[in-house]
Amino acid sequence: MGLNLKGLTQQQRVFLFLVAYRWASLLPALWVFHPRTPGAPIPLAGILALAAGITMSVTVFHRRLNRLLIRHPYILGADMVLAAAILGVSGGAHSPYYLYALSPLLAGAFFFQMRGAIAAAAAFTPLFLLATALGYRLHRLSIAPQMFITQMAGLWLIPLLFGYPSVLLKRLRQAHHALQEARDDLARQNVELNAAHRQLRIIHDLTVSLQAAPDIQSVQQRVLQAVTGELGFPRAVVGLVNPMSQRLENWRAYPQDERPPGPVAPLPLHPRSGLLVQQLLDRQPFQWAEGPALTTDEALNRWLGPGPWLILPLVLREHPVGLLLVALEAPLISLPEERLAMLTSVAGQAAVALGTTMLCIDRAWRLAVEQERNRIARDIHDTVAQSLFGIVFTLDACTKMLPEQVEKVQQELVELRDLASQVRDQVRQSIFDIWPSTLTLERFKADLRKYVAHCSRPRAFHVDFRTGGDFDRLSPAIRRSLYRVAQEALTNVVRHAGVNSAQVCLRVEPNAVYLSIQDHGRGFDPATVLAREHNRERFGLRGVRERIHALGGECEILSRLGEGTQILVRLPVNGRDGRG
């Protein structure tokens, strides 16, 4: 018949096998064929023709019968009735059509497994008994008990024997289907893994290159190259948020690595600045093809050109960093998920790199401002405040000497005028951070003695200096810091120690310089004085420690009530540790 067995399903192949069985089961009838058996009321030729006609119909219409049998199993009942009728009229237990009569039972076993085999055998058993009785009545043939029992056993055993392999075939078919699904799933996962590997490789290369980028412009350039080069998009644009002014600016594009032609005003981070800023504030990706203008700046809109654009906000820890605009060749609905996920990953990595760089710049700027403020505050405290304290202290003494000691008061006022002139110079030095390069050791000691003499009036105060090493090899910054520390320490001695003398020891070694200021006065509790809760508006000893720590040195304050105070300072020379 020219059947294509490769294109048939498993059920169709089984059905063809049953058709072949039907034709083969007619061979015994042909073997014993003769037109009419003596005493038989019906010619055997007619029975053979009927069986062959039924088999031919099954053969010709096997596809349709296959579908009908699956949908309507009761069709087997009609087939069993016809088979039992042929069996009965052809001799019952002696009929050569016994194997042919089993074909409906085999069909039930093949198509419906063990349940179909048992149901078919149970349904055909009474029909077989009726066929045996009909054959005995029509042909008056004796029935041998052994033959009858053997045929009844075959009636049950043969369908069951075919039903069990049918169960195994069904399980094998299910396992084969499961394996096909597993294969398809593995193939899909392999495609996804390859895509993920490519994505990770691009992200890894981008991360490495971003870490090596020296500035923000280099980071922008690398991100744009990744979008247009590795991902294959025709054009990309990056705009950044200035963290200090909170404006969107600093636009760059690739492959047209040029700034927008003409002046472009920075866009304030406000929805009124246009669609781009609005999407950045909403932190949501957006596809723009036409409609409202991207920004309120016409020059920037002309430079960006027509869409479609995929707008990807760059956000780091809820803080807007900038925008990544990717030119699309087709609407977003046709963009593969792999490329969209890749773009999202690149945008996230760009947000981290750009945001971290900008955050470091912002922190460095704020730190520089804070350090400059602290420096100015320390310098003002160590110069202007101390000098003003001396002026106030001297004026208070002058008021006490009037009117008895007019000449002495006049002399003090002249000296106060000189001190006020010095304060003016100190203010200038604090503003412009100028210190005379001629601060020698002798001037160091002379200026401290003169300063203390002004602070301690009208009483006399003696400072004992002990020095060693080459003072001139110290940098101007270290000399200035040593002077400010000694100035602050001696001021505290004059104010609070209740003594008229102090000792200053200065020793310069190859790698470090050591300064000690000591008195034998009242003393105090360092923990209480240095506590942040006390003297919030004063810098004093806490300012001394901060100044020394800023230069990489160490400052130790030793004091007890009634046992005096000693301040020990160690500063490294040229940034090297002096302990070795």
Choose between 505 and 51: higher pLDDT: 505
Q: What are phi and psi of 502, to 5 degrees?
A: -155, 160
**Which pLDDT belongs to residue 275?**
87
Pick the CATH number of 214-361 from 2.30.300.10, 3.30.450.40, 3.30.1050.10, 3.50.50.60: 3.30.450.40
Structure tokens at 352: 């981290």
**Which pLDDT belongs to residue 34?**
47
**Which pLDDT belongs to residue 2?**
40
Q: How confident is the model at residue 378 (pLDDT cuts 50, 70, 90)?
A: low
Q: What are phi and psi of 297, to 5 degrees?
A: -100, 115
Q: How confident is the model at residue 297 (pLDDT cuts 50, 70, 90)?
A: confident
CA nearest neighbour of 467 among 507, 523, 512: 507
Long-range contacts of 8-14 (CB under 8 A, 24+ apart): 10/169, 10/173, 11/66, 11/70, 11/111, 12/62, 12/63, 12/66, 14/110, 14/111, 14/166, 14/169
- On whether the CB atoms of residues 286 and 313 are closer than 8 A, the answer is no
> DSSP label at 226?
I
CA nearest neighbour of 200 among 352, 349, 356, 351: 349
Owner of token pair 């020990």: 568
| Spans of all domains in the chain | 5-181, 214-361, 458-580
Choose the weakest-confidence range: 8-17, 98-107, 129-138, 308-317.
Answer: 8-17
pLDDT at 502 over 90: yes
Query: Which amino acid is residue 52, in one-letter code?
Result: A
pLDDT, one tens digit per residue, over 158-175 is 888 877 777 777 788 788
Helical H segments across 226-336, by residue range: 275-282, 298-304
Q: How confident is the model at residue 377 (pLDDT cuts 50, 70, 90)?
A: low
Query: 231 exposed, middle or buried (CB, 10 Å; 0-12, 13-18, 19+)?
Result: middle
Beta bridge partners of 324: 238, 312
pLDDT at 234 over 70: yes
Rounded to 10 degrees, what is the CA torsion of 275, 277, 281, 282?
20
Among 96-100, 202-206, 218-222, the range with the most confident prediction by mean pLDDT is 96-100
Choose the weakest-confidence range: 1-10, 121-130, 262-271.
Answer: 1-10
Distance of CA 31 to the CA centre of its chain: 82
- How far apart, in whole angstroms, are the C-alpha atoms of residue 12 and residue 206? 57
Please tell us whether the domain made up of 458-580 is placed in CATH 3.30.565.10: yes
pLDDT at 395 over 80: no
Strand order in the sheet with 309-316: 267-268, 247-254, 236-242, 319-327, 309-316, 286-288
Among 56-70, 495-509, 526-540, the range with the most confident prediction by mean pLDDT is 495-509
Q: How confident is the model at residue 92 (pLDDT cuts 50, 70, 90)?
A: confident
Averaged pLDDT of the chain: 77
pLDDT, one tens digit per residue, over 177-202 is 888 888 888 888 888 788 667 767 76
Please determine whether the domains at 214-361 and 458-580 fall in the same fold group of CATH: no
Choose between 355 and 326: higher pLDDT: 326
Structure tokens at 304: 């960006």
Structure tokens at 377: 């505050």
